[in-house]
A and B are shown apart, each in its own frame.
Chain A
Amino acid sequence: MTEPKITLATAWLDGCSGCHMSFLDLDERLIALADRIELVYSPLVDAKTLPETVDLGILEGAISSEEDLEKARLFRARCRLLVSLGDCAVTGNVPAMRNAFRVEAVLDRAYRENVTCNPQIPSLGVPALRCPVKPIHHEVSVDVFVPGCPPSADTIWYVLSELIAGRMPEPARVTRFGA
């Protein structure tokens, strides 16, 4: 009999999706991974709701909006192990560079100053921005930190392999801030 698969959920908060792209860069290793892991919720699959319990949660991106915070809390509540993937999740990185300015000034810059047609700040159906932008572990507890912008496919492979084998990875051995 094969071992039961490990359930995996991923989400993309305030990031560029580069970390998810790097995950896809696992290429043929994804096939080997599919034997051990079941992807139950992710921007890469169709499922719209996070299951009640998940073995492994991976979050990309910083906490910049009310929705990011809600997702991070939900992931923490439902995932046995939570991974911060990439510099935005681990340090705040580029999204946190807006902390130098007031939210109003940032919105003005993006939606009024540099817009030629119908400038307006979106308010319907979009989550409110938070200030300051924070790394995930400054809001909810995180078990594994994987720095890198983005962490390489080899780094992600190392971290996942260790976790699947039941060991705690030491990501600093293979990656660093800004890698």
Chain B
Amino acid sequence: MPLSTARSNVRVVTLKIDGRDLSAREDETLLEVCREHRIPVPSLCYLEGLSVWAGCRLCMVELVNQNRLVASCATRAAEGMEVQTDSERLRRYRRTLIELLFAERNHVCAVCVSNGHCELQTLAQRLGIDHIRFAYRQAHEVLDSSHELFRLDHNRCILCTRCVRVCDEIEGAHVWDVMGRGSQCRIISDLAIPWGQSETCTNCGKCVQVCPTGALIKQGTSAGEMVKDRHFLPILARRRAR
């Protein structure tokens, strides 16, 4: 969510997160409040400056007196809310979600261009994941190298849709979209044509910079060389909001 300039009609609410009494603006999400107060909540699809997708489910938190978990990126702070960001149940779910992402496609970290700079890899380590309990799907995906500057490797894609959102909301080109359901789900450029043939792509590279893994990368990068820089995003997002 872009941070807009302070408006006087926005109320302030008080809530409890992990036992701490905090105050927040009522238009803030729980994840934004957590980030503000340096309470660690894992996330993959959320990115400050882009709209909320709530697809990865890693930022789920517990609300006291409510059995259903909520995605903190898509839940607004409310008066009197009591939030738990860490519990045995949440750790179990988060671990399972990450393991399923690893089992779904082919994340061969050792030879990946994003090795050492990957959000999925970092999150796995932070959550204490040292092996994948599930059988690997062994579905081998294609690599789209048709673009002169960039490359798309579906093997590393976790379908977070950051690329779709940044291209639509910030660049305004809407090259990317999502096609298919379930295990058939893929990121596509234009109407499922090779990226290099896209007539809408402006070669800006924003999708590459926001991609959390080694799915969208620069041409000519070798193992571990793809370092991403997304400093531009909050700045552009704030200017767009005006």
Q: Chain A: residues with CB nearer than 8 A to chain B? A: 84, 87, 90-94, 96-97, 99-100, 132, 135, 137-138, 142, 145-147, 149, 170-173, 175-178
Tell me, rounded to whole Å, the shortest Cβ–Cβ distance linking B163 to chain A: 22
A178 near B112 (CB under 8 angstroms)? yes
CA distance A146 to B129 in the complex (A): 10
B52 close to chain A: CB less than 8 A: no
CA distance A97 to B105 in the complex (A): 12
Q: Chain B: residues with CB nearer than 8 A to chain A? A: 102, 106-112, 115-116, 121-122, 124-125, 127-132, 135-136, 138, 140
For residue B139, which residue of chain A has the nearest CB? A100
**Known A99-B140, A138-B135: A172·B128 in contact at CB below 8 Å:** yes
Chain A residues within 8 Å of B136, by CB = 92, 96, 99, 132
- List 24 A-B pairs, Cβ < 8 Å: A84-B131, A87-B110, A90-B130, A91-B108, A94-B111, A97-B111, A99-B136, A132-B136, A137-B131, A145-B131, A146-B130, A149-B110, A170-B128, A172-B125, A173-B128, A175-B125, A175-B130, A176-B121, A176-B125, A177-B107, A177-B110, A178-B108, A178-B109, A178-B121
Chain B residues within 8 Å of A96, by CB = 108, 136
CA distance A145 to B125 in the complex (A): 12
A132 near B125 (CB under 8 angstroms)? no
**Known A90-B130, A90-B131, A147-B130: A176·B110 in contact at CB below 8 Å:** no
Indicate the member of A92, A135, A172, A177 with the most B CB atoms within 10 Å. A177
A149 near B130 (CB under 8 angstroms)? no
For residue B125, which residue of chain A has the nearest CB? A176
CA distance A27 to B45 in the complex (A): 43
CA distance A146 to B131 in the complex (A): 8
B130 near A172 (CB under 8 angstroms)? yes
- Nearest 6 pairs of A and B residues by beta carbon: A178-B109, A149-B110, A100-B140, A176-B125, A177-B109, A145-B131
For residue A84, which residue of chain B has the nearest CB? B131
Indicate the member of A135, A147, A178 with the most B CB atoms within 10 Å. A178
CA distance A137 to B99 in the complex (A): 14
CA distance A146 to B110 in the complex (A): 14
Partner of B108, one of A94, A146, A172: A94
CA distance A135 to B131 in the complex (A): 9
Tell me, rounded to whole Å, the shortest Cβ–Cβ distance linking B54 to chain A: 26
Chain A residues within 8 Å of B122, by CB = 176
Tell me, rounded to whole Å, the shortest Cβ–Cβ distance linking A154 to chain B: 15
